[in-house]
Amino acid sequence: MNILDANKKILVTGAAGFIGYYLSKRLLDMGCTVVGIDNLNDYYDVNLKYDRLDSLKPYDKFAFFKIDLVDKLEIDRLFVNEKFDIVVNLAAQAGVRYSITNPSAYINSNIIGFFNILEACRNNPVKHLIYASSSSVYGTNKKVPYSIDDKVDNPVSLYAATKKSNELMAHAYSKLYKIPSTGLRFFTVYGPMGRPDMAYFEFTNKLVKGEKIQIFNYGDMKRDFTYIDDIVTGMVNIIAKIPVETEDGAPYKIYNIGNNKPENLLYFVETLEKCLMREGIINHFSEKELLPMQPGDVYQTYADVDDLVRDFSFKPNTSLEEGLSRFAKWYKKKYMNKGDI
């Protein structure tokens, strides 16, 4: 198995984000030098982003720059000055529903921003480019579990379309300029310090306030919830494995990173409530409003992780109850004594 060389200098874009923070911390704990960038936008509470950065600042081998991927001059200057060995692009405009009302944010960050990263890697060669894709690229595919060999030509949101575009752009640059590139299709990542716009976080805020929670498609939805630590372990394994050239001459690879176990949304809410009750955050089950499917949503996500198992002898395995229990403990410590909600 490939082991990540701790002497590498690694750029993590979106370092103040949920996955970017946890990945940066893991890499720093391994002794790597990490340069993080983020535009610190206000899509969700910026204070949470600053909290993540504050916990990275004590590391001697961590440097942070506030840079937007759209700023090509700043990106190019950064690459020239820092001379990265590895680039991990996690910066993106996230959220499926937000893409329906604010499409330009996705074109700027996810398309133009990613193009700037590709160009910087072309002009300042790196050993490996890893970038975030998404399970949303599978759209309304009926066949499950979702395999990286399945067609992904029917996105149901602009967010999904931008992520599929990233895969195509990376493949083209990989083939033309021999940039070793690996795309990661993440499946519903959750955990402490996560994004407040994610369902488990939104539900918790409403449960604490005693508000009714909305559940779409009348509760008949399934998600392959993947705990953040499993995501990061998978990423560290993948970063160390530089893809070989495929039959078409591109050193290019895609992996699913998911729990390989879709959970029913109603069971998910029930498990969350139990974990919150155990921590004394709430004291009763909530009232639920069952609503139709929302535009951009899909019925289920379910990751085929055979490639991950074959290449790394690794498979995400954190149970939903264990992961939500860790989230509940963090939430209690972070919010319950401060009245921040």
Q: Is residue 340 over pLDDT 60? A: no
Classify burial at 297, counting beta carbons within 10 Å of its beta carbon; exposed 0-12, middle 13-18, buried 19 or more. middle
> Most distant CA pair in the chain: distance in Å?
59
pLDDT per position as a tens digit, 113-166: 999 999 999 999 999 999 999 999 999 899 999 999 999 999 999 999 999 999
Name the strand (E) or helix (H) holding 259.
Answer: none
> What is the structure's pLDDT at 13?
98
pLDDT band at 97 (very low <50, low <70, confident <90, very high): confident
* Contact by Cβ (8 Å): 226, 268: no
pLDDT over 90, % of the chain:
85
Sign of the CA dihedral running 43, 48, 50, 55: negative
pLDDT (mean) for 55-79: 98
Say yes or no: domain 9-189+226-257 is CATH 3.40.250.10: no
CA proximity to 302, closest of 224, 225, 228: 224
User: Comparing 118 with 294, which gets the higher pLDDT?
Assistant: 118
Both ends of the chain: CA-CA distance in Å?
45
Catalytic residue annotation: 159
pLDDT band at 286 (very low <50, low <70, confident <90, very high): confident
CA distances to 47, 166, 180, 231, 308 from 185, rounded to whole Å, are 27, 11, 17, 10, 12
| Average predicted confidence (pLDDT) for the chain | 94
> What is the structure's pLDDT at 153?
93
pLDDT per position as a tens digit, 195-252: 999 999 999 999 999 999 988 887 889 999 999 999 999 999 999 999 999 989 999 9
Compute the distance between CA of residue 211 and CA of residue 289 in angstroms, rounded to an integer: 10
- Domain ranges in the chain are 9-189+226-257, 199-222+261-301+318-336
Q: Which CATH class is domain 199-222+261-301+318-336?
A: alpha beta
Classify burial at 33, counting beta carbons within 10 Å of its beta carbon; exposed 0-12, middle 13-18, buried 19 or more. buried
Compute the distance between CA of residue 341 and CA of residue 339 in angstroms, rounded to an integer: 6
> What is the structure's pLDDT at 336?
84
